[in-house]
Amino acid sequence: MDKILVGGVIYTMAGKLASALAVHKGRIVLVGTNEEVLALQTEDTDVIDLKGRCALPGFTDSHMHMLLSGVGFDRLDLRGVRSPEEIIERGREYIRKHKISPGEWVVGYGFDHNLFASPVLPGREVAGAISEEHPVLLDRVCGHVGAVNALALELAGFGSETVIPGGELDKQANGMLSGVIRETALDQMKTHIPKLSQKQVEQILKETGHRFAKVGLTAVHSDDLGPEGTDLGTLSKAIHALKEKKELSIRIYEEWEAPRPKLLRDIISKGYYSGWGDDFLRVCNIKLITDGSLGARTAYLREEYSDDSGNRGIPVYTQAELDEMVGLCHEAGLQVAFHAIGDAALEQCICAVEKAMRSDPKPLRHRIVHCQIGAKSLYERMASLGMGADIQPPFTISDAPLVAPRLGKIRQQESYAWKMLLDCGVPLGGGSDSPVEAYDPLWGIYCAVTREDGSGGAPWMPEQRLTVEEAVALYTKGPAYLASQEAHAGTLEAGKLADLIVLDRDIFQIPSEEIKDLKVELTMMGGQITYCKE
């Protein structure tokens, strides 16, 4: 026996409490009493005394951008800026500090124009004021709207006559491009940023994996095969190189962005399907982005924005286009993860899955990423199709001030409705959308349970709060089910992967307001300790 954990309170998340478990060759062999498990001890067994502490299955983030999160630690950080002038100041300092050579890209992330005194999106003037010698891209916190300078527009070949399906290039009154680019236009711009090398991917996975292990993450569902990420071959080589060096501390269920039929057919022609891979890297979903974000008013709504007359957001696909994409995925055994924030986008996705299921009923678990704005009738249709949802509990904190102005009070009542989704029978996973939100699952659990920001204010839509058990399931059982991996992960049971965490206090026995203050003291992935508090 390789490892034995004894003397704790082990919440298996499978309806059983235990005090000990045994691990061999990366999997759990036995979960039971101290006496039962210690009977398996050999002279080579590493015995870990939990000293009464609480153990849980390892956390999984059901939707994030791992490589982008890692790259972000070294990029121009625009989070929290309060004015265009502050963006310019930070950008110029970044170039000086990092000695960025002329011609190299300067990419910033994280500004939110709603924090400005005058909430106007920055454009080419702001990006150009940072530098005209570097192509500059400033990405809004949502990742759906950006600002670029003249050099970036030139490199991308964008002009006043450019038309990009599913995207927009804003124009000034004189017809010139303003530098504000939205949705697929932003994605196309990002393809001009140099791709990460295998060495860079290895370094990001190693460093980010350590950070993730510290907060109890043992796996992530990550969107890394898109405009800013890498390709599957490079990612696979990097992961297995780290595995050989025993420097891999995270499992990756990969979401593969395939925005158009040509790319999707290429993926299918190579024989990929949901579940392809091994315990360290699996193809999980095809990612289809169907609309934008609420903060940028590009989420696609059934009715116009309450604070922007005539605007219903941006649909990336027509219904026929989406039907075609989903049909191709469904036939090939590829689950679809739809980015859908607006209720019109959500309805498009449901209609596409309904059509695919009618022609070919398969036990595929298609899902909605974000699922923020909706209605009970739509959630019931999702449940009838076996569709799940990747929700981001921290959005209830960051988005709360925007929802009523954008949607009005009536639409708000059935939006960000995590409890309603569960009650309708929709399987849920919890994520961060990192780098959009903090990747700490304990913060996500706290947000789901309290719907408070920690400042002592009243909870937002308290009727949608989850129980602690429901919230913990978002980051354990939920992601495993959505990935069709519940036979291997998500709970602490014999035969499953030995992915677990130890907390400094019992999450089920403390006041809910203290959940955000819990600390992970040990993280184990595949029987290997990836983090241990000294």
- 89-106 residue pLDDT tens: 999 999 999 999 999 999
Q: Where in the chain is the domain with CATH 3.20.20.140?
A: 198-482
Residue 357 near residue 336 (C-beta atoms within 8 A):
no
Q: What pLDDT is stored for residue 99 in this prediction?
A: 93
Is the confidence at residue 163, as pLDDT, over 80? yes
347-352-355-361 Cα dihedral, nearest 10 degrees: -110
Distance CA(43)–CA(445), nearest Å, equals 39
Query: Tens of pLDDT along 202-250?
Result: 999 999 999 999 999 999 999 999 877 899 999 999 999 999 999 999 9
Per-residue exposure over 48-69, b if at least 16 CB sit within 10 Å of its own CB, e if not? bebeebbbbbbbbbbbbbbbbb
Q: Considering the domain 66-190, what is its CATH architecture?
A: Roll (3.10)
pLDDT in tens, 119-132: 999 999 999 999 99
Q: How confident is the model at residue 195 (pLDDT cuts 50, 70, 90)?
A: confident
Q: What is the pTM of this model?
A: 0.90
pLDDT of residue 39: 96
The answer to whether the CB of 344 falls within 8 A of the CB of 300 is yes
| The CATH homologous superfamily of the domain defined by 198-482 | Metal-dependent hydrolases (3.20.20.140)
- Answer for the pair 443, 516: CB distance below 8 angstroms, yes or no: yes
Does domain 3-57+495-532 correspond to CATH entry 2.30.40.10?
Answer: yes
For the stretch 2-44, pLDDT in tens is 999 999 999 999 999 999 999 999 999 999 999 999 999 999 9
The confidence band for 333, taking pLDDT boundaries of 50, 70 and 90, is very high
Q: What is the DSSP letter of 193?
A: S
Helix (H) or strand (E) holding 34: helix 34-38
Residue ranges, comma separated, of all CATH 3.10.310.70 domains in the chain are: 66-190
